[in-house]
């Protein structure tokens, strides 16, 4: 409750928001976010992902999830086998 009140006060403090917006870390974070967006956009164009149909995109995401799941299971098995030895 107290944290919520404090956050509301800070969010509604216009001078504080302005000072934070003009600070180097905030400006740098915004620059990095925009650079990342443009980089991923260009990579998607190079690999033809921007022309994907929704069905193909879903298939791609499902394959990615399955691959990540398989890798995690493999790592878990390796860790368990190392613990046993």
What is the tens place of the pLDDT at every residue in 38-69? 998 888 888 877 677 888 889 989 999 999 99
Indicate whether 85 pLDDT > 70.
Answer: no
Indicate whether 29 pLDDT > 90.
Answer: yes
Rounded CA separation 39/37 (Å): 5
How many Å separate Cα 29 from the centre of its chain?
Answer: 13
Question: Considering only 50-54, 69-73, 78-82, which range has the smallest mean pLDDT?
Answer: 50-54
pLDDT recorded at residue 44: 82
Rounded CA separation 23/32 (Å): 15
Summarised one tens digit per residue, pLDDT across range 5-20 is 999 998 899 999 999 9
Name residues whose C-beta falls within 8 Å of residue 20's C-beta, 6 or more positions apart in sequence: 26
């Amino acid at each position: 409750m107290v944290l919520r009140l404090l956050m509301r006060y800070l969010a509604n403090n216009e001078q504080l928001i302005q000072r934070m917006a003009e600070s180097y870390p905030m400006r740098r974070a915004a620059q990095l976010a925009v650079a990342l967006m443009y980089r991923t956009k260009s990579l998607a164009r190079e690999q033809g992902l921007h022309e994907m149909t929704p069905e193909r995109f879903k298939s791609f995401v499902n394959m990615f999830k399955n691959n990540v799941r398989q890798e995690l299971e493999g790592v878990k098995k390796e860790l368990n086998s190392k613990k046993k030895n």
